[in-house]
Amino acid sequence: MTLNVSVKWNGRKYPVELDTAQPGLVFKMQLYSLTGVAPDRQKIMVKGGLLKDDADMSTLGMKEGQQLMMMGTVGELPKAPEQSVVFLEDMTQEQVAKALKLPAGLTNLGNTCYMNATLQCLRAIPELQTAMEKVAAPTTQDRLSNLTLSMRSLFKELASSGAAVPPLVFLQVLRSVYPQFAERNNEGYMQQDAEECWGQIIQGLNEKVPGLSTSGEALKDRHFVDQFMTTEVLATTTCDDEPNEVPSTTIETFNKLRVNIGSGVSTYLVMEIANSLVEKLEKNSPTLGRSAMYTKTSKITRLPQYLAINFVRFQWKAQEQTKAKILKRVQFPFELDMAPFCTADIQEKLIPAKLRLKEISDRKAEAKKLKNAAGGLPQPGADGDVAMASGSADAAEAVAKKDHLTVLKELNVHESLINDPGANPSGQYDLVAVLTHVGRAADSGHYIGWVKDQESNDWWKYDDDKVSKIRSEDIAKLEGGGDWHTAYICLYRSKQLE
């Protein structure tokens, strides 16, 4: 049944066609369209009190031409957003970086991708940035100090910037210290070898950046690179042609483990490391009085917190006068165990921390297994309480974590490792950065840095000023075997004891 009624509100009368078969909310919506008063703000007097949303209108005794009274105020109109909506395609590069929380890239200043990729990978060493803060400004013109200070300033700018940073000052200082990076041809500055750039930067830093104590204070009698990035080996050389000749032993150090790539279609990093620690030499034998073949075997006596591994992918071809690339596939792990390459004495010293890491790994694996079995739902404990979610558990663990030195002492780690804050006490490593090359020659093609975020465990692809988040599966594709990006340097970090 339909009735014509009127509603008086705010001094005016509004004619309304009332359908008694519909609930009260329908009538209120009609008034909302006429007055702008929202249904939840309307107070309409009817028989029995105020009209309710679910009221049966046919039972209220409404009559043709009846006048009703309504009270209520119009609510505030929706306000326009304080900041207008900006679509991604309309944003500047800086706005996109801030919106997506992307880390800053480095502008390519003309064939400088080799330097940009190197710097982004070295940023994966937070202790280096801490140590560079201890470097004082030189009182005289010191190019190596300027190299360190300009690198420190650049890292700070990258940390605070929402857009790509042009490394102008650092590039100028680098070229003044190492003129080979200023080499030019008819087209401008030439492409350079990233491995050479890495080595020269590390050499310069080793001269000026001090070591760190266990409390983070500067050690003037130590160098950061020697402390945190240098491996020590015991090399034993024996004569193959004269077994009775007394073997010679030497202590050698390096801050980048060079891994030669053998023949075949593909291989594994661990296998190539083992092969690289055994060399064949030809030299004069004092016992035989002639040239003889020798075998040089190296065993590691100290592992650093950060282990850089350089795949020797380029070999000099005299005919073409260029460094040709070895495209062979080399599978590298996300977790690396270097203990088997150490001396027996060092292997024994690594056992306590290594066992602790295994306990942590087993505990996490068991927790993940239980979570998967339960369909991802938290399970009640023995006392009936529901276990906290993994994120909350991680947060609680973070609060309860002890400092590195305390953990080492509780594990009864050997004193020589406790007193060496830059050493790896377990021999276990996590992959944190990869520097890749695409192309057929070292002085051509393109270099990119791939770096793991230490806090979120995401991976970032630093292609000069273009930065993007990638999956760990994409890192596994950098093994080589074709013309895709190929791992040239891998940076491993000592596993953290929790």
Residues annotated as catalytic are 113, 446
CA dist., res. 123 & res. 306, Å (int): 12
List, in sequence order, every residue forming a beta bridge with 237; answer none if it has no partner. Answer: 248, 296
- The total number of residues written for the chain in this structure: 498
Q: How distant, in Å, are the alpha carbons of 6, 44, 128 from that of 24?
A: 15, 10, 72
